[in-house]
Amino acid sequence: MLFEVFRTDDGSETVMQHPLGVSYHSRFGARTESEQVYLVNGLHFFTSENPGLSSVKIFEMGFGTGLNALLAAQYAQKTGIGIEYHTCELYPLPAEIYTQLYRGEAALLDPLHEAAWDKPARIHPFFTLVKYKQDLRQLDLTEVFDVVFFDAFDPDSQPDLWDYTVFEKLALAAHPGSVLTTYSSKGSVRRNLEKAAWRVEKLRGPAGKREVVRATQGCSSL
Ligand SMILES: C[S@@+](CC[C@H](N)C(=O)[O-])C[C@H]1O[C@@H](n2cnc3c(N)ncnc32)[C@H](O)[C@@H]1O
């Protein structure tokens, strides 16, 4: 497997994975995409719907560059809301690649990559990370999550990960009011989410993407 770092249109870097030829983020702006799809539509939406929360539990499909985790850790620092962030990653990026990314924030990013697998790592007083080096389909989800960042490679490259059985597994690890956000609004993705009892909304996408998705479980209060 080969990794190549490149700069996206908003100036932030991302990675291309070969031979699959898939990018970890939109070429129109990695950071812009992550901020809108996961931070604003997912985490910030959930905390706004549930004011007064002191902590949030997040599950992320695909740790990748660590950008979503980095943004969530910064959100926790800024708001004082405690975040327990669980994420799975089958093909971790080697240090020679992640040390080329987001260097202005290396002090927070590098500990995310260096954290041990399968046990909680306290990154700062408001952010705990638990990474699993496992295939999402085999991962045993024993926690209940408030927010899911569904950030697999696109459904054409990895259709198995967007199957309704995966969304059902995530629904079983959610509660009424939990939200799942993702960048793909493909018809088959929306149908598979609905089949797994997620209520789907289409939202305006970041540059280069007309629509993205937020899905909610059951009724909207905790
Ligand atoms: C779109 S990238 C994730 C980007 C990431 N969220 C970020 O902030 O950089 C998809 C990630 O899923 C990982 N992946 C691919 N197949 C997987 C699987 N079956 N289980 C777990 N992770 C997988 C890839 O290695 C890649 O890091």
Name the closest-CA residue to atom 20, ligand 1. 135
Kindly state whether residue 38 falls inside one of the protein's structural domains. yes
pLDDT of residue 220 exceeding 70, the answer is: no
pLDDT of residue 74 exceeding 60, the answer is: yes
What's the gap in Å between 160 CA and the centre of ligand 1?
13
CA distances from residue 149 to 6, 126, 212 in whole angstroms, order as listed:
23, 19, 12
Q: Domain residues for 54?
A: 29-217
Name the closest-CA residue to atom 12, ligand 1. 62
pLDDT score, position 87: 98
Query: What H or E segment, with its residue span, contains residue 73?
Result: helix 67-79
Kindly state whether residue 12 falls inside one of the protein's structural domains. no
**Which domain CATH number covers 119?**
3.40.50.150
Among 34, 61, 157, which is best to mutate for testing ligand 1, by the most ligand atoms less than 8 A from CB?
A: 61
Query: What H or E segment, with its residue span, contains residue 176?
Result: strand 174-182
Count the alpha carbons within 13 Å of 200 in the hemisphere toward its beta carbon: 21
Tell me the per-residue pLDDT of 185-202, one tens digit each, with 9 for 90 and over: 999 999 999 999 999 999
pLDDT score, position 33: 98
- Ligand 1 binding pocket, CB closer than 6 Å: 24, 34, 62, 64-65, 67-68, 88-91, 135-136, 151-153, 158, 161
Kindly state whether residue 36 falls inside one of the protein's structural domains. yes
Mean residue pLDDT of the chain comes to: 96
User: Kindly report the CA angle at 33 between 27 and 39, in degrees rounded to 5?
Assistant: 160
pLDDT of residue 217 exceeding 70, the answer is: yes
Kindly state whether residue 131 falls inside one of the protein's structural domains. yes
Tell me the per-residue pLDDT of 156-188, one tens digit each, with 9 for 90 and over: 999 999 999 999 999 999 999 999 999 999 999
pLDDT of residue 64 exceeding 90, the answer is: yes
Kindly state whether residue 203 falls inside one of the protein's structural domains. yes
Kindly state whether residue 13 falls inside one of the protein's structural domains. no
What's the gap in Å between 176 CA and the centre of ligand 1?
26
Among 153, 157, 165, 170, which is best to mutate for testing ligand 1, by the most ligand atoms less than 8 A from CB?
A: 153
CA distance 88 to 181: 16
Kindly state whether residue 3 falls inside one of the protein's structural domains. no
Query: What H or E segment, with its residue span, contains residue 30?
Result: helix 30-34
pLDDT of residue 219 exceeding 80, the answer is: no
- State mean pLDDT over 42-54: 97
What's the gap in Å between 150 CA and the centre of ligand 1?
9
Predicted TM-score (pTM) above 0.95: yes
Among 59, 108, 161, which is best to mutate for testing ligand 1, by the most ligand atoms less than 8 A from CB?
A: 161
- State mean pLDDT over 26-52: 98
pLDDT of residue 15 exceeding 90, the answer is: yes
The number of domains in the chain is 1
CB 74 within 8 A of CB 104: no
Q: Of all residues in the chain, what percent carry a pLDDT higher than 70?
A: 98
Region of 123 please: left (phi>0), alpha (psi -120 to 50) or beta.
Answer: alpha
CB 60 within 8 A of CB 68: yes
Tell me the per-residue pLDDT of 100-134, one tens digit each, with 9 for 90 and over: 999 999 999 999 999 999 999 999 999 999 999 99
Kindly state whether residue 24 falls inside one of the protein's structural domains. no
State whether residue 138 is helix, strand or coil: coil
